[in-house]
């Protein structure tokens, strides 16, 4: 329940975001602002949540966070508005970090100590199941009443989590003073910096990157804010973020791999669903596909919990990258006749590969935290959540941009290859015009409508070809990651490197 409460509400929003705009009376780019707000607050919330749990305890913190979520959802349901929806997304993003921690703590109570590594894997991967679960919820349950069903589900999950933490309380933990005045300065700079960066990644492809001045101004403001956060933290005696640790070679590679994998995994959430949507399929018609994905991810949780160990990060990441590459390559031969049944294997490979990487990466990162000590926990949690959140937004931005540019390219090429007066073309246009013979009397209007039908068919084909190009890009990204990781294994075996200056200082 804690795992679903942490991710299902955002999953429902993410998988239905393109359908929501018209129903709630906003433009598509405005709905994507909701995704950016959630990601920004979720990525930065852990700056304070870890210390808040130390100083005030887990349960009091969750009472406050869940109370905020409940209040925001009640307000949104009672007085629907876009502004209150933004507030609800921000509160959900903050609370999600705490609910993920509760998932882990409850598993620690249920699973024996000797199986603690498996508990860590399960605790961090269970929330990932929220997206395929969200795909299985019928639109009729959430769409009516300006998508009030979505807010009702999220409210119900928050209330259920509130009840559970009181009915099945966790053991008390030791408390100690943790906050310092400079923490407020760090957070006050990190939140707007992350918000601006997330907005750019979410909205750039709608306004287009090089055509909209405010995108450049937003980046101009975001990067100095985030740079200032790192500079302040690097100079503190007791920092929130161990900045010098980020310069550690292994941690830097870990973060880089995390971003690359998250970008590749947007093939499933953006490209595959976008491809099927071109054929007029609705979310309800994708239920069999995502049922298969859910089964594959559950299998991934089970396998990863058994075999994942920190020292196996690179081999298991290579295996995950190859699975993602194989799935994307299978998808790259799509046609206008492609339906969910043709994607069962490829999308199952992607779902299994995502869990295989995530579980091992979590164990690896936490093993590094244990080596260094508790002060490094905040740094790891922030690093991991930031790479996953920003990687997801960056992946959608990258694949969306590629798909849009390649659609234009293929449409132009297809148009160039069509010579007016060609016999087959004339026959196709006449066939399209005949479709309106019994509806329109004017031959000129029949011809115009026929030409429009043919133009739509050409544009559809251009979109399909563009999605195939996008799948191939993901394939090459995943293969490049596998080659890079293989090279690291070889170099570490035959050419061990000395610790960096930052590592030696740490």
Tens of pLDDT along 155-177? 899 999 999 888 888 887 777 77
Handedness of CA 367, 373, 377, 383 (dihedral sign): negative
CB 22 within 8 A of CB 13: no
Question: Which residues of the chain are under the pLDDT cut of 50?
Answer: 421, 494-506
Q: For CA atoms 49, 55, 57, 62, give the dihedral sign.
A: negative
Which residues, including other chains, have CB under 8 Å from residue 30's CB and lie 6 or more apart? 21, 82
Question: What is the token pair recorded at 159?
Answer: 């209330």
Taking only the tens place, the pLDDT of each residue in 46-88 is 777 777 877 787 888 888 889 988 998 888 888 877 788 888 8
Please tell me the predicted confidence (pLDDT) of residue 506: 44
Residue where the block lists tokens 């997330």: 198
Q: Which residues contact 475 (CB under 8 A, 6 or more apart)?
A: 325, 328, 329, 332
Using alpha carbons, select from 399, 410, 495, 388 the residue that is nearest to residue 458.
410
Residue by residue, DSSP assigns 433-491 as HHTTTTT---HHHHHHHHHHHHHHHHHHHHHHHHHHHHHHHHHHHHHHHHHHHHHHHHH
User: pTM for this one?
Assistant: 0.82
What digits encode the pLDDT tens for the residues 474-492?
899 889 888 988 888 777 6
Q: What is the C-alpha to C-alpha distance for residues 475 and 395, in angstroms, rounded to an integer?
A: 13
Token output for 133: 């679960």
Q: What is the pLDDT of residue 159?
A: 92
What residue has token string 């206008």? Answer: 336
Token duo for residue 142: 């959430």
Task: Output phi, psi for 144, to 5 deg.
Answer: -60, 155
Measured from the Cβ of residue 501, the count of other Cβ atoms closer than 10 Å reads: 10
Q: What span, in angstroms and rounded, lies between the C-alpha atoms of 260 and 350?
A: 14
d(CA 116, CA 122): 10
| Closest of 26, 160, 173, 48 to residue 98, by C-alpha | 48
CA–CA distance, 285 with 138 (Å, rounded to integer) = 9
CA-to-CA distance for 419 and 46, rounded, in angstroms?
A: 60
3-class state of residue 323 by DSSP: helix
Burial of 494 (0-12, 13-18, 19+ CB in 10 A): exposed
The phi-psi region of residue 247 (left if phi > 0; otherwise alpha if psi is between -120 and 50; otherwise beta) is alpha
- Token pair 């798909």 is at which residue? 403
DSSP type of residue 309: -
Token pair recorded at residue 294: 């859910």
Report CA 88 to chain centroid distance, whole Å: 18
How confident is the model at residue 295, as a pLDDT? 92
What is the three-class DSSP state of 81?
A: coil
């Amino acid at each position: 329940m804690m795992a679903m409460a942490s991710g299902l509400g955002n999953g429902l929003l993410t998988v239905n975001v393109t359908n929501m705009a018209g129903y709630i009376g906003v433009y598509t780019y405005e709905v994507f602002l909701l995704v950016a707000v959630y990601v920004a607050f979720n990525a930065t919330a852990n700056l304070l949540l870890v210390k808040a749990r130390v100083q005030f305890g887990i349960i009091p913190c969750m009472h406050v966070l869940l109370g905020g979520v409940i209040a925001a959802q009640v307000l949104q349901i009672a007085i629907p508005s876009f502004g209150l929806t933004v507030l609800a997304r921000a509160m959900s993003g903050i609370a999600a970090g705490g609910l993920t921690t509760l998932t882990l703590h409850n598993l620690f109570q249920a699973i024996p100590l000797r199986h603690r590594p498996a508990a860590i894997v399960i605790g961090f991967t269970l929330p990932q199941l929220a997206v395929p679960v969200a795909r299985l919820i019928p639109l009729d349950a959430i769409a009516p009443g300006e998508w009030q069903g979505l807010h009702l589900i999220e409210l119900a999950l928050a209330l259920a989590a509130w009840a559970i933490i009181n009915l099945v309380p966790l053991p008390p933990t030791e408390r100690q003073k943790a906050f310092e005045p400079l923490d407020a300065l760090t957070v006050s700079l990190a939140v707007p910096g992350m918000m601006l960066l997330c907005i750019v990644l979410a909205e750039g492809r709608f306004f287009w990157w090089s055509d909209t001045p405010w995108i450049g101004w937003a980046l101009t403001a975001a990067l100095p804010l985030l740079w200032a956060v790192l500079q302040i933290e690097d100079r503190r005696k007791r920092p929130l973020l161990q900045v010098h640790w980020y310069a550690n070679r292994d941690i830097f590679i870990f973060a880089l791999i995390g971003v690359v994998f998250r970008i590749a995994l947007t093939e499933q959430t953006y490209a595959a669903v976008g491809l099927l949507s071109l054929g007029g399929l609705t979310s309800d018609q994708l239920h069999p596909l995502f049922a298969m994905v859910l089964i594959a991810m559950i299998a991934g949780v089970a396998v990863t919990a058994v075999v994942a160990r920190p020292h196996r990060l690179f081999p298991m990441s290579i295996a995950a990258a190859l699975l993602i590459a194989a799935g994307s390559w299978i998808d790259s031969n799509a046609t206008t006749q492609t339906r969910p049944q043709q994607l069962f294997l490829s999308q199952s490979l992607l779902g299994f590969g995502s869990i295989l990487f995530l579980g091992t990466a979590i164990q690896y990162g936490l093993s590094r935290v244990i080596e260094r000590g508790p002060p490094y926990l905040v740094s790891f949690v922030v690093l991991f959540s930031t790479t996953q959140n920003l990687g997801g937004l960056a992946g959608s931005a990258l694949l969306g941009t590629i798909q849009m540019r390649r659609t234009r390219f293929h449409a132009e090429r297809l148009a160039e290859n069509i010579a007016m007066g060609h016999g087959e073309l004339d026959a196709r246009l006449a066939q399209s015009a005949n479709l309106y013979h019994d509806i329109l009397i004017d031959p000129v209007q029949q011809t115009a409508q026929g030409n429009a039908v043919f133009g739509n068919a050409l544009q559809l084909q251009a979109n399909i070809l563009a999605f195939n190009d996008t799948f191939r890009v993901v394939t090459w990204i995943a293969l490049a990651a596998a080659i890079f990781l293989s090279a690291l294994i070889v170099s570490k075996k035959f050419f061990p490197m000395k610790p960096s200056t930052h590592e030696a200082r740490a």
